Chain A
């Protein structure tokens, strides 16, 4: 859902300073989800089949928990980095019509945005 929303945002506002942060955040978020589906869910499904009282249970658990945790670190860092990038995007985002040296649409008359009264140079 959020990936889709971010994609729409990027497509519509890719000239804005915030767009590259939204894109990078979305890529990291999707990477975290991809790790979940590609690694954790299959491993969880395998573990679900293990009988705790069987002879193979202890080695199965030991084989499961170390790499599971390593890849969980990856998910933790990926989602946290995505959150940082989304927060930075939010700060850099300029509302349409607001003035900014870096984000004024090409061809807009100089001063037109200032007249709209929504300047950001406070």
Chain B
């Protein structure tokens, strides 16, 4: 059994991963569908506003605080290597770091920055927005599934003895 501080850390991280999965799930299943259903200029402005509003302490803590704890759990997995739970800690951490943190910085952030520069009144803005929304959402599905898998792996780590 995991015990002490590592237990608490794993439990909190499992829940945080679930929270992050739910956050991206809302975009994949609802927000982007709605924003691509209204006129392009309105969807574009709404998304630009979301990309500004999302940079707030709670969301940053949920997304990247969880990433920091995943690094700690990955190190703990190596320290405790040989324990039945270690492999689940390592896998859960790697899946989160690759599927949320890395993907966000490599894919979503550059595209959000490019979108922020668009003028909604510009003639080409609508086609840019349509293409952005489609590909952004496809990769957002990955950001939904990855933390969900991490949450499952961390939960298994709590349980294996």
Contact = CB atoms under 8 A, between A and B. Distances in A.
Contacts of B7: 91
Main secondary structure of the interface of B (DSSP, over half): helix
Interface stretch (A2-10, A22-30, A40-48, A82-90): A82-90
Contacts, number: 22
B158 interface: yes
Contact of A87 (B1, B14, B19, B161): B14
A39 to B, nearest CB: 18
Contacts of B18: 83
B142 interface: no
22 contacts: A80-B15, A80-B19, A83-B15, A83-B18, A84-B11, A84-B15, A87-B11, A87-B14, A87-B15, A87-B155, A87-B158, A88-B11, A90-B155, A90-B158, A90-B159, A91-B7, A91-B11, A91-B158, A91-B159, A120-B161, A122-B1, A122-B161
Interface string B135-161: 000000000000000000001001101
Closest 5 CB pairs of A and B: A91-B158, A122-B161, A83-B15, A83-B18, A87-B11
A96 to B, nearest CB: 16
A21 to B, nearest CB: 12
Nearest to B22: A79
The size bracket of the interface on B is 10 to 19
Interface of B: 1, 7, 11, 14-15, 18-19, 155, 158-159, 161
B150 to A, nearest CB: 14
Given A87-B158, A90-B155, 8 more contacts: A83-B15, A83-B18, A84-B15, A87-B14, A90-B159, A91-B11, A91-B159, A120-B161
Contacts of A84: 11, 15
B4 to A, nearest CB: 13
Nearest to B12: A84
Nearest to A86: B155
Contacts of B155: 87, 90
Interface in A63-115: 80, 83-84, 87-88, 90-91
Contacts of B15: 80, 83-84, 87
A60 to B, nearest CB: 18
Contacts of B159: 90-91
A91 B155 CA distance: 9
